[in-house]
Amino acid sequence: GENVEQHPSTLSVQEGDSAVIKCTYSDSASNYFPWYKQELGKRPQLIIDIRSNVGEKKDQRIAVTLNKTAKHFSLHITETQPEDSAVYFCAAPRGGLVDSWGKLQFGAGTQVVVTP
């Protein structure tokens, strides 16, 4: 099965700086990589995802990069704001390829704190 490792576990940044979170996965067949943001006591919300046929995807201040050779993908948040403070989770398909079930294996999470 898929093994997803996420680093760092905590990240403190000054408002306006960039934040980068990295995840590695084990199954080279994995083809779908979502990122979720979870505020305290709330539901995880999808913020961006990427498929294995592209190397980078951007959405305003958020971007995700994928290196299939090295089997890692990263979340980049630019011009961070206090409202970016949350726990961020990466994920990859449990069985490698996204199958008919769509099960995901989540990373351990990164607590991001943006200080004004």
Partner 1 sequence: GAVVSQHPSRVICKSGTSVKIECRSLDFQATTMFWYRQFPKQSLMLMATSNEGSKATYEQGVEKDKFLINHASLTLSTLTVTSAHPEDSSFYICSGRALGDTQYFGPGTRLTVL
Least Å from the CB of residue 33 to partner 1 = 10
Judged by CB under 8 A, the stretch of 22-30, 55-63, 78-86, 92-100 that binds partner 1 is 92-100
Using CA atoms, how far apart are residues 65 and 24, in angstroms rounded to an integer? 12
* Using rule CB under 8 A, residue 14 touches partner 1: no
Q: Cβ(7)–Cβ(109) under 8 Å?
A: no
Q: Which stretch binds partner 1 (CB under 8 A): 15-23, 58-66, 77-85, 99-107?
A: 99-107
Would you say 90 or 114 has its CB closer to partner 1? 90
> How many other CB atoms sit within 10 Å of the CB of residue 53?
8
Could you say whether residue 32 binds partner 1 (CB under 8 A)? yes
Query: Residue 80: what are its φ and ψ, rounded to 5°?
Result: -60, 150
Give the E-state strand segments of 15-98 in sequence order.
19-25, 32-38, 45-51, 56-59, 62-67, 72-77, 86-93
Residues near partner 1 (CB under 8 A) are: 32, 34, 36, 41-46, 49, 89, 93-94, 98, 101-104, 106-109
